Structure 1
């Protein structure tokens, strides 16, 4: 199959709004792929490369060569090219990767260049969410969508299921069974604005602390233990205390879902980076463990002693969990229908330094890899009015717009630079609609403070944006040593002068005290 077929399909899917129309287009493209091509085609339609790491980033998308006039790239050829790029390492590898990528882009038509750039940047926006693509895979393979969804739940990913069912039909789904030792993609929570709204959606529910740690899935089969992250990476050797906790349970086999986090002596969370660094460190684990011990908060059981629990109601999974996991390793939990009780529980979670709560419907099954409506996360939302210091030209469907915004707070005392200057806190393109992108591009170009034909356009800090974010984290990348977590733009504030932007002191106050 030519890459052009996938690129044209992606563009067509982006151009229609109806769910059924999107499914028809995607299914047609999947049906035209050969069995050996199905995995690559499904990956590209899902907006991702098969290779987890290629070493390519936004810098690779600068100064691209002119597009080819005619389509010649085959999907398997492109996949092999990305695999080869990802294998480059050592001195000079960065330049070599970019050169190989340029060679690939030189053979791509305009539509193919847009697709490849979007795959590299992770900005393929065509409205083909997992649910839509799942339905398309089922239609292309002529199997019930429910069977495909069950296989995805066990596989933890859509793409391998698509490859198997498109190659072998219903028989291809038989290989996807829950296996202790093989990780599943975790179930995710959808946002809710407050406790009252969450309980209105769920009715009586379990309300649990939302711990800001690292998501872990713990598998035990006899004396063998494996610990996986939410991205399915095996970190067993990095977290011996979690393996020991699993071996101490009165079970033969178990699969648990939870969070691990580093706490200070008073039981409050250390900055997230401390937990992240500890979990990812493979060097001198014993010393790292002594300095930053990890605590475990388990909140779900997917398998216990030969019984698979994925399809069981949440209340039954918790009962199975409580029977084998001690209270000291379980997440604090309250079952209630009362908004007042749930709000008090939420306030207590915040008082202990945690992110908020997860409100879980009692009858909800475990939907691996899905952001289900039965789990709702409630967190306090912080907002600031910040200045746009610069913006980056977008790629993919945002090409031609100034998209990624560099955000800054006022520094009236000059603690981190010139007095009355600005302190950068990070970048974001989240929350920007097409209408907002169009307006801000024109506005920022009028404020440009230098050339506008480069990757980054610096502007006079006169346009403010109201930004929502989940918290403030330590970051050595920026002058004040902090950055915003999960920042997204709520609205532009042309009505506010730059002098009314929030200050760096306001940002540091949200972060709170720093732990040594």
Structure 2
């Protein structure tokens, strides 16, 4: 069947900005872009070009943008922040703040079926230290899984990620669990992870592989919930955690994350040790009287998980982009293989990359130093003699077929360079592999 011809039409995209579609739209967009760049200064043209090419890294956090919106619209910051948190859409919040009425902005509320930004946690080195900040708290296992927010309205259930993406079709087992709960409407916050035959958590990458699948697989994901934001027409955001946990126990007790309410540091440490022994990441210490601060990171929730540090060797360094253009940035990291289990004895086995934790001073130093020990280079990478030891903090390792040692670092970041250590004193691939859960 022949298609009807269409002329270019001016519309608006989901963000509210003008867009064109149909025949001739490409010409119209090119003309509009030429007109825009003709009006722009040289610096503005550079900015526009980087945005269009995906090379612009502004580093602007949502909190900064939210405050900027409030200032530009002359609206109270607290009102704008709450609207952004409860709508989960900063762009729509900006449109409403700038073009809508004050009443419309203030009326933005919690809606079952519309995800909200999750409450975030600060960090502490020990459970006892966290408890000293929160006072009486619920000390809960921090699962090594994927965060989910589940909305149920009658029989309709939707599951969202921490970034508010709808993944309902990927998690039918979670949908089935929530449909069976003794409630009509509910919003739950929690995590999902895969378990082995003994009920212990499987490695993180197995959970994420299943979590990212567009179709159900044999591996099942088990939901665990640690908070409830709404129950049958009643919003609980501003209720204390003690009230929310009571409701959570009532409607989803069998799927509640393990934990204890205490003001005793010894009890908090015991729960932390129990969580680690069970194969979980650590604990989250939550002030028992705190409300649910959607999208905010404060001192009411504090996560505690062990951080491992290892001395590894720099094998190569990649040229940076954005604000790091012209600087050597992303490090290739290797662990010593003294026995030759993964190659020649005494060589280094690559276990991951990182650009995190690098200060401006370290970036400058790397850029000056690594070319001095360069052994070869490609367009984007400078390979160096394996003589430089760097202390790296990691949250653990995971199985990986990408690297010859069969593992990859998790959340690696630079702590410092170790001028006092020789490369043959670096940590071994066998030491890192021992971190794998068997």
Query: Shorter-chain-normalised TM-score: which range?
Result: 0.7 to 0.9
Q: By how many angstroms is 1:120 displaced?
A: 2.9
Q: Deviations over 1:311-365 (max 9, x none)?
A: 2222221112112112x20000111111111111100000000000001112222
**Matches of 2:144 and 2:339, distance apart in 1:** 33
Pick from 229, 232, 239 the counterpart of residue 312 of structure 1: 239
Which residue in the other structure is 1:299 paired with?
226
Pick from 331, 339, 347 the counterpart of residue 257 of structure 2: 331
Which shifted more, 211-220 or 169-178?
Answer: 169-178
Q: Give the strand-richer structure, 1 or 2.
A: 2
Residue 223 of structure 1 pairs with residue 148 of structure 2: no
Check conservation: 1:254, 1:302, Cα contact below 8 A. yes
Which residue in the other structure is 1:447 paired with?
373
Q: By how many angstroms is 1:416 displaced?
A: 2.1
Check conservation: 1:115, 1:124, Cα contact below 8 A. no
Check conservation: 1:349, 1:356, Cα contact below 8 A. yes
Check conservation: 1:117, 1:395, Cα contact below 8 A. no
Q: Give the helix-richer structure, 1 or 2.
A: 1
Q: By how many angstroms is 1:504 displaced?
A: 0.4
Change (3 A) 1:214 1:137: same
RMSD over aligned Cα atoms: 2.7
Which residue in the other structure is 1:490 paired with?
415
**Matches of 1:110 and 1:430, distance apart in 2:** 28
Change (3 A) 1:202 1:122: farther
Pick from 302, 305, 312 the counterpart of residue 379 of structure 1: 305
Which residue in the other structure is 1:256 paired with?
188
Change (3 A) 1:313 1:232: same
Q: Deviations over 1:475-495 (max 9, x none)?
A: 221112211111010001122
Which residue in the other structure is 1:351 paired with?
277
Check conservation: 1:142, 1:169, Cα contact below 8 A. no
**Matches of 1:225 and 1:37, distance apart in 2:** 27
Check conservation: 2:56, 2:322, Cα contact below 8 A. no
Which residue in the other structure is 1:164 paired with?
96
Q: Secondary structure at the match of 1:511?
A: coil
Pick from 397, 400, 405 the counterpart of residue 323 of structure 2: 397
Q: Secondary structure at the match of 2:375?
A: coil
Q: By how many angstroms is 1:417 displaced?
A: 2.5
Check conservation: 1:206, 1:362, Cα contact below 8 A. yes
Pick from 332, 337, 340 the counterpart of residue 414 of structure 1: 340
Check conservation: 1:38, 1:162, Cα contact below 8 A. no
Q: Deviations over 1:209-261 (max 9, x none)?
A: 00011111111111111111112222222212211111111111000010011
Q: By how many angstroms is 1:507 displaced?
A: 0.6
Q: By how many angstroms is 1:76 displaced?
A: 6.8
Number of matched residues?
412
Change (3 A) 1:109 1:461: farther
Q: By how many angstroms is 1:168 displaced?
A: 2.1
Residue 181 of structure 1 pairs with residue 108 of structure 2: no
Residue 149 of structure 1 pairs with residue 81 of structure 2: yes
Which shifted more, 167-176 or 205-214?
Answer: 167-176
**Matches of 1:505 and 1:324, distance apart in 2:** 46
**Matches of 2:45 and 2:104, distance apart in 1:** 30
Q: Secondary structure at the match of 2:374?
A: coil
Question: Unaligned stretches of 5+ in structure 1?
Answer: 1-35, 41-74, 86-103
Which residue in the other structure is 1:23 paired with?
none
TM-score with structure 2 setting the length: 0.87
Check conservation: 1:165, 1:171, Cα contact below 8 A. no
**Matches of 2:373 and 2:104, distance apart in 1:** 57
Q: Deviations over 1:99-127 (max 9, x none)?
A: xxxxx9xx9945654676488357433xx
Q: By how many angstroms is 1:502 displaced?
A: 0.7
**Matches of 1:471 and 1:148, distance apart in 2:** 38
Residue 267 of structure 1 pairs with residue 194 of structure 2: no
Q: By how many angstroms is 1:177 displaced?
A: 2.1
**Matches of 2:298 and 2:62, distance apart in 1:** 12
Check conservation: 1:38, 1:167, Cα contact below 8 A. no
**Matches of 1:353 and 1:483, distance apart in 2:** 18
Q: By how many angstroms is 1:406 displaced?
A: 0.8
Which residue in the other structure is 2:4 paired with?
none
Q: By how many angstroms is 1:272 displaced?
A: 1.3
**Matches of 2:91 and 2:400, distance apart in 1:** 34
**Matches of 1:458 and 1:190, distance apart in 2:** 37
**Matches of 2:55 and 2:115, distance apart in 1:** 27
Pick from 166, 173, 185 the counterpart of residue 234 of structure 1: 166
TM-score with structure 1 setting the length: 0.75
